[in-house]
Amino acid sequence: ALKDIGVDAKSYTGCQVALQTDTSNTKARIENIDDERMRADLDDGKVVIVAGFQGISSEGNISTLGRGGSDTSAFAIAAA
């Protein structure tokens, strides 16, 4: 939708951003955020959109943050 109105944007899943979590699925906790890809896109003038309720565990599995996970990851990404 943003591209349709001329806004350069890039969307990511939590795994693509490398929102790294523990191994507890459905109630995972964020351990680290690899912000390199997001920062590169921001430096290129893109709007970055991240699916905030999911991440990737230390075992390489998709994890979900559970209730309020999108709000939690929004704060964590902003802080990163």
What values do phi and psi take at 33, rounded to 5?
-130, 120
Name the region of 23 (left: φ>0; alpha: ψ -120 to 50; beta: rest).
alpha
CA dist., res. 58 & res. 30, Å (int): 11
User: Domains in the chain: how many in total?
Assistant: 1
pLDDT of residue 43: 96
Using 50, 70 and 90 to split pLDDT, how confident is the model at 39? very high
CATH number of 49's domain:
3.40.1160.10
pLDDT of residue 8: 95
Domain of residue 50, residue span: 3-79
Using 50, 70 and 90 to split pLDDT, how confident is the model at 6? very high
